[in-house]
Amino acid sequence: MSDVLAAIELQSQACRWLGSVQYADLLEAVARDAAAGGEFAGLLQGRTDRPVHDALPLRLLGSLHGLALSGGAPELAARFPSCGGDGSTVPLGTVLEVVARHRATIEDGLARHVQTNEPGRSVALLALANWLPSVGLREFDLLEAGSSAGLNLSFDEYAADTGRGVLGRRGSALTFPPSWFDQSPVVVADPARCVGRRGCDVAPLDPVDDAVRLQSFVWPDQAERLDRLRAAIAIAQPHGARVDRASADEWVALHLAERASDSRAVVVFHSIVWQYLGRDAQDRLRATIVHAGESASRGPVVWARMEPAGERAELRADVWIGGRHAAHVLADIGYHGADVTWRAS
């Protein structure tokens, strides 16, 4: 049980740090119940050998939020601001009543992957496209690993107002404000253009059919995040970027091989995905990208990723042109996209 309790404690701290007091308090109550051998001890124990890696607490919270959003748990909806609730502390007894009434649904949720698909992370792709001309790249095909519902594949339909100019589509219904930038990049007149785009996920979602599930993983007391997600879903619907059901390492290897004779640059991108890959998949994915990049006979390869680096994520880009490699640290970015400190020249 100690590993489950550690996962709950870590997630509670993360929720509080990232501004979800409601979830942080709820997880603390769940931890106390589990530690005392209560209902949550039996519900959570044995679900996975890696409760931190598999984000077991977020699976539980997503299941509860989904029930509230779909009308199955009105007592939770009365508390969750995402459902019009008052934002007050959720009593443990209320949660236990919901679990007892919907145990099969909760257990199903505990067995399924977390699907945040936070569209705020598209700011990393907008900034990347703005930066690529500095290394001589004007067009690229995008391969995103861990795409969920593919919302970030529509990144160039969104906008980010840096305070020094606008990245992306000016006037977009989803525009990230200047307050997101602690230090912003210089906006170029002609950012690199995304020509082709495709993603993969081990359990892809449809932005229309699975809209409630996508929303369920947004924390209910973070209204701005939910508004961003809903705007992204509305924008993504007519574009229908393809997301294949596949593991990241195998899928990237296949698509890099298919593009081996293309002269156009290929950008392999992932955001807050690396931690969910097993070590073997990480090693295979890294080796595949490096091997492709070192091939002097193919077009440029860029491995861009926004992954955890302490209190914020780090946006890095490894670039191979003509087989020659250069590594770049581009920015520090908050886990949901805000608090961007641009570090590249």
Q: Where are the domains of the chain?
A: 2-110, 119-342
Query: What string of DSSP letters covers 137-185?
Result: --EEEEEEES-TTSGGGGGGGSEEE-SS-EEESTT-SSEE-GGGEEE-P
What's the pLDDT tens digit per position in 257-291?
Answer: 999 999 999 999 999 999 888 899 999 999 999 99
Q: What was the pLDDT predicted at 241?
A: 77
pLDDT over threshold 80, residue 155: yes
CA distances from 88 to 2, 21, 220 (A): 29, 10, 11
What's the pLDDT tens digit per position in 114-128?
Answer: 887 799 999 999 999
Q: Mean pLDDT throughout 139-168?
A: 96
Q: What was the pLDDT predicted at 1?
A: 67
Q: What was the pLDDT predicted at 239?
A: 65
Within 8 A by CB and 6+ apart from 250, the residues are: 284
Element (H, E) at 234: helix 223-236
Contacts of residues 2-5 at CB distance under 8 Å and 24 or more positions apart, as own/partner, are 3/51, 3/52, 4/34, 4/44, 4/45, 4/51, 4/56, 5/31, 5/34, 5/35
Q: What was the pLDDT predicted at 279?
A: 92
pLDDT over threshold 80, residue 237: no
Assign 326 a pLDDT band (cuts: 50, 70, 90). very high
DSSP reduced 3-state for 327: strand
Assign 2 a pLDDT band (cuts: 50, 70, 90). confident
In 18-55, which residue ranges form alpha helices assigned H by DSSP?
21-35, 39-44
pLDDT over threshold 90, residue 345: no
DSSP reduced 3-state for 92: helix
C-alpha–C-alpha distance, residues 143 and 269, integer Å:
6
C-alpha–C-alpha distance, residues 222 and 126, integer Å:
23
Q: What was the pLDDT predicted at 278?
A: 86
Q: What was the pLDDT predicted at 18?
A: 85
Please choose, from the candidates 151, 124, 63, the residue with its C-alpha nearest in 3D space to the C-alpha of residue 99. Answer: 63
* Phi, psi dihedral angles at 145 (to 5 degrees): -90, 135
C-alpha–C-alpha distance, residues 17 and 7, integer Å:
15
Please choose, from the candidates 304, 345, 306, the residue with its C-alpha nearest in 3D space to the C-alpha of residue 141. Answer: 304
What's the pLDDT tens digit per position in 70-123?
Answer: 999 999 999 999 999 999 999 999 999 999 999 999 999 999 988 877 999 999
Within 8 A by CB and 6+ apart from 118, the residues are: 225, 228, 229, 271, 272, 335, 336, 337
C-alpha–C-alpha distance, residues 111 and 252, integer Å:
26
- Contact of 270 with 307, CB cutoff 8 Å: yes
Indicate the average pLDDT of the chain. 94
Q: Mean pLDDT throughout 156-182?
A: 97
The terminus-to-terminus CA distance of the chain in angstroms comes to 48
Q: What is the CA radius of gyration of the chain?
A: 21
Assign 242 a pLDDT band (cuts: 50, 70, 90). confident
Q: Mean pLDDT throughout 234-252?
A: 87
Q: What was the pLDDT predicted at 238?
A: 65
For strands 159-161 and 166-168, give the pairing: antiparallel
Q: Mean pLDDT throughout 175-179?
A: 97
Q: What was the pLDDT predicted at 209?
A: 87
